[in-house]
Structure 1
Amino acid sequence: MDSLSIKYLLIGVVTFGFLFEKTLSYLNIKRPLTSIPKSLEEYLSVTKLKEAKTYQQVNFRFGVISGLFSFTLTICLILLGVFGWVDEWLRNIISHPMLLSLAYFAIIFICSDLLSIPFDFYHTFVIEEKFGFNKASKATFFSDKLKGYLLSIIVGGGLLFLLLYLIHQIGKDFWWQFWIISAIFMVMVNLFYTAWILPFFNKLKPLEDGELKQKIVNYTEKVSFPLENLFVIDGSKRSSKANAFFSGFGKRKKVVLYDTLIEQHTPEELVAVLAHEVGHYKKRHIILGMTAGILQVGLLLFILAQFIYSKNMSFALGGNEMAIHLNIIGFTMLFSPISMVLGIFMNMISRKNEFEADAFAKETYAGEPLAEALKTLSINTLSNINPHPWYVFVNYSHPPLLERLKKLER
């Protein structure tokens, strides 16, 4: 394809992605209020149901405004050739190709993040604050930003350096070598995330001795799941929303419970939530998910290798000569439809895995406390209990609440 055709293709892909996403969101938000299901009558009032709908509408309008800003800016950058102008300006300062690419991505990252700060700030301190979710101070907000920049420079910059080095030194075969590096990195992150990265933002402490810990120990012994690393994270410093997650495998496996989760649930419900997480481990969902992620990265890199030396891609973005960094920018736009399809497929697998983990918790512990925990979590976070089926199909990594309750309470 010539550069002009690629330019229009980029505009078409970006436009399609924006319209597709916002159309689904519109269908979801226009879904009428449902009557309160019998299984939620003790938890959900009409007032709470209307509040949840209002929360979803406010987030929808915010998403339209922020998304429209990002979409319009991207289209303007493509049409006006700004991506290419930045490349030409940097070439007058930097001659080394790798340093040129690193400087280019640094400028794009900084500008992109600075533009997103007002939207992030508004969402945190206006929307989340209004509905009682935000617990973060402004100091914490900006501290997180600075820490994020530092991690991006160290980790993201290091990976980007290796990618650019392989591209410049090896040629099109760079993809499978960087794929190996990426796979090792993904495994390392899974193993050491809670030990190396998470403490950068949050405090982790071992779960204290008491009724909850004893119940958890009794359960894990019953299902032959030796667990030495059980931590509580101070999630309440940023949000009142609760969560729990599992990371690592082998001797480095860890279960992390948010302090907000412990505050909002009974010990029985917390053990049921833990049983669900153990189910993911026992069913090998974590290993399979990581494998799928590694395969996706391999596919992405292979396709990138076909575009990486395209002069017309660089010209389409306003460049005067072939530039690796311009081609990577263009590729990320063109890859978005493939990424969306892969995302849909991964969400389908994830929803299946959630049902399996629920079933494991029901079989090895009890279904009722897990159902109670899911109800509390959903109501407290003002979740949509009646989402549009197409929105669920594309975006939901977890099944809707009522579907999970139907299976648990069967």
Structure 2
Amino acid sequence: LEAVPASAELAMAYSNLSQLAMLAERLDETLSLGGRAIELAEQLDRQDVVCHALNNVGAAEQWLDLANSRLHLARSLEIALEQNFQEHAARAFTNCACGEINQLGYSQAQSFLDRGIDYCVENDLATWRDYMRGVRAQLLLRQGYWNEAAAEALDVISNDQATALVRYPALVALVKLRLRRGDPSAEPLLAEMNRFLERGAELQRLLPYAAIVAEQAWLGEAEIAEALRLIDLAETLSPTRAMFAELASWRQILSAGSDAGDTAGMAAPYRMLLAGDWQGAAAVWADLNAPYERALALAQGDEPAQRAALEIFETLGAKPVASHVREIMRRNGIIRIARGPRQTTRANSAGLTQRQMEVLQLIERGFSNKRIAEHLTISPKTVDHHVSAVLGKLDAISRGEATAAARDSGLI
């Protein structure tokens, strides 16, 4: 194609090669090929190619220049929506959300996912819808909404029409959740994740798998040597230190005294933890409303911090993790360690989280989902998840029935 005059086909070829490089985390190659595609497509006024290439470039830039990444992804999304390029729009929503999650911009990620999933539903883009729902399950997991994360992930995984690649984000969320809860049904799902690596060590599949195995090894459920092998492999494949941040922190946990290496460019809580500042890391995770990660940081701290971590793990229902922290505390000579949560309230016995109790009380007062969202300063989509969870836990099929059940059981 390069031997003939400039054409839309040549521009799209550059963009397709840029996309392949982006998926393989060859960042410089992505930017070079994407730049050529954009330049040529703009000369030919092919906005579809410009849109596609900007998406590739923006996705790669998240690890190099976040401001430019956001700019290029936003422009790609803008073009797609203006020109009704539906597949491009869905991919842009996805890459915007994933980029924000990787850079710990959780509120921005939630907005992109809610908008993107709604867009896919409206335009019958089932594949992209399910992929983004899996990503949203991962975000819900990070934010401590474990029941909602499980429901979202299960909906995707139980869809017979979903391909293995579409299932993958939901698979990651559900495996992490079930392992943390001590659910043995996580094992076949973890084996499914491992099958992706049998085809080759693709970094975007290796990173989450290695993190899960590292967490298992910390809990005594996997070999530390295997976890460290996977971490070392990921390090050799990572084009930037920022991409390796989570695994760098796991290596330090599994191999005390190991060299943290260059932490420049890593997200703040990982950089702090690698520098021994567990207090700072825990504070950042708390600000991000990421309770599990906060508790992991606290577990690296002193006795009061470990007690706080234990309480968080218990509240989340992460029983194996809580048991492991108790064992660490015993080895450190700490006494009078809490045995576990007490069923002191009817709300706990119903399995409602604190946030779900707040939502239930507002339902009882007649608040609509929109008013609940405004009152609690959360998105309407998040309210939808909470309301569904409340109805499910109270075995109710309507808001009125949920309110009646809650009154009968003394919850409100």
Q: Taking structure 2 as the reference length, what is the TM-score of the superposition?
A: 0.26
Structure of higher RCO (CA pairs closer than 8 Å, 6+ residues apart): 1
Q: Taking structure 1 as the reference length, what is the TM-score of the superposition?
A: 0.26
